[in-house]
Amino acid sequence: MAVKKPVPCSIYDLRGIQEWLDEMARQGLFLKQVNPRFERAEFEVGAPAPVRYRLDPVNRKGKTDDEHIALYAQMGWNYVDRAGRWYYIFSCDDPEAPELYTDPQSLSLAMDSLVRRDIRNHLLIVLLFVLLIPLVLFFPTPYSLKNLLLWENPRDLVMTIILFALLPFPFAFAFFDIRRILKIRNTLAHGLPLPAKKRWNRPPFWSWYIPFWVILYWLPRLILPSIGWEVCGLDEITPSHPWPTAAQIERLGAYPLAEEPVTGGYVRFNSSPFAPVQEEVNRHRVLNPDDPTNTDLHTTIRYIRARSPRIARRLYQMERDQEAKRLEARQSPPYAYRVTNLTPFVPRDWPGLDRLEAASYQWQEQDSWTFALLRGNDVLLVDYTGTARWEDCLPLFLEALDKEAAP
């Protein structure tokens, strides 16, 4: 019959572990093996006996020394198991058998390799996170930076903030572990016995690691929305600016409209500390079978007012790049209506604008274009399918950009 118990001591508490194993033997539980992380121990049930257990630090090569084990066997100590990369465990039922180490200084020398190895491993962990921090801070992915600035996905934003908040913890754990290791070695080097530590029910690795990541990964997904935008109908909210309508735009095209066509679409809006005004207005003409031109009209207006020109420049570049990738992707399957004859974004000069780029293409065999502009704190992208040219329509959008919507 086997019994499993958690190891109630730190892996660096030699005396605590040895005394605990001795106590288990007096209760009739004899160590059989431990898991690789030295968190749980498996015992065989037998008659209670005064068995002693001692831990021998693993040598530099990390391999069992057969001659060493044979020498200990001659002294009355039997090899039980290896506790991960830290210790070999020996047991002895002879009360007259000498200790593995007769004085603290010799145990300190035996631990030297273990101490050096663990300190090196901890410093490597610290170095890894030191290199990771600037990578995360200064080289974020376009998606993560955009989400941080616009708060488009609250769920991922919260997870990013949590990860940033957790970055100091590896440093803290490494610092306290290194300090504990050095304190043990210094105590032994000065010829002092190791003090008995307070025992605690150290939870197994999986019992906290799995719930921790489940909470970190799934809790934001359960309580937070994946999309921060609020969506309304065209008649439910007034956009931030009086953007040109289809009739106003098509007056400049090949088939001027006598009146405003019936349109469908939506307005979606969002806000963040870095971009307090964010909106997307989508209008499409409801096709009329009696219309001889039978021309589809489609307008998507994406407007962002950033907190500062610097933020606006970053957002402009990200929005422009995202639109360029969208157009390129729609040239191939699985899209049923593909983009054809694409002319990628080309920089243009226009008085009063910091940046202006325009692209043209065909969609459903109709002429279409997209322009992206930056002016101060304002970022504006317009995608249009119709007969009017973007050069003729741009003044209409600049005029609207100068006006705030009527309350």
Q: What is the CATH number of the domain that holds 334?
A: 3.40.1000
| CA distance between the termini of the chain | 80
User: What mean pLDDT comes out for the span 273-296?
Assistant: 76
pLDDT-above-70 percentage for the chain: 81
One domain for residues 390 and 268: yes
Q: Look at residues 358, 362, 354 and name the one whose alpha carbon lies nearest to residue 390.
A: 358
* Confidence band of 208 (pLDDT split at 50, 70, 90): low
Domain that holds residue 397: 230-401
Query: Which of residues 375 and 135 earns the better pLDDT score?
Result: 375
* Confidence band of 68 (pLDDT split at 50, 70, 90): confident
User: What mean pLDDT comes out for the span 61-77?
Assistant: 78
* Confidence band of 186 (pLDDT split at 50, 70, 90): confident
One domain for residues 137 and 190: yes
Residue 406: inside a domain, yes or no?
no
* Confidence band of 101 (pLDDT split at 50, 70, 90): confident
One domain for residues 88 and 130: no
Is the per-residue pLDDT at 299 higher than 90? yes
Detail the DSSP E strand segments found in 262-365. Answer: 263-270, 277-285, 298-305, 339-347, 355-363
When mean pLDDT is compared across 217-231, 318-332, 361-375, the lowest value belongs to 217-231
Tally the domains of the chain: 3
One domain for residues 29 and 142: no
Three-state DSSP at 151 gives coil
Which of 190, 223, 256 marks a domain boundary? 223
Is the per-residue pLDDT at 229 higher than 70? no
* Confidence band of 62 (pLDDT split at 50, 70, 90): very low
One domain for residues 152 and 298: no
- Report the pLDDT value the prediction gives residue 253, as an integer from 0 to 100: 76
User: Where on the phi/psi map is residue 319: left (φ > 0), alpha (ψ -120 to 50), or beta?
Assistant: alpha
When mean pLDDT is compared across 135-144, 208-217, 273-282, 372-381, the lowest value belongs to 135-144
* Confidence band of 10 (pLDDT split at 50, 70, 90): confident
| 268 φ/ψ angles, rounded to the nearest 5 degrees | -125, 145
- Report the pLDDT value the prediction gives residue 109, as an integer from 0 to 100: 73
Three-state DSSP at 265 gives strand
One domain for residues 350 and 234: yes
pTM summary value: 0.60
One domain for residues 43 and 116: no
Is the per-residue pLDDT at 200 higher than 70? no
One domain for residues 199 and 252: no
Q: Look at residues 280, 283, 282, 228 and name the one whose alpha carbon lies nearest to residue 261.
A: 283
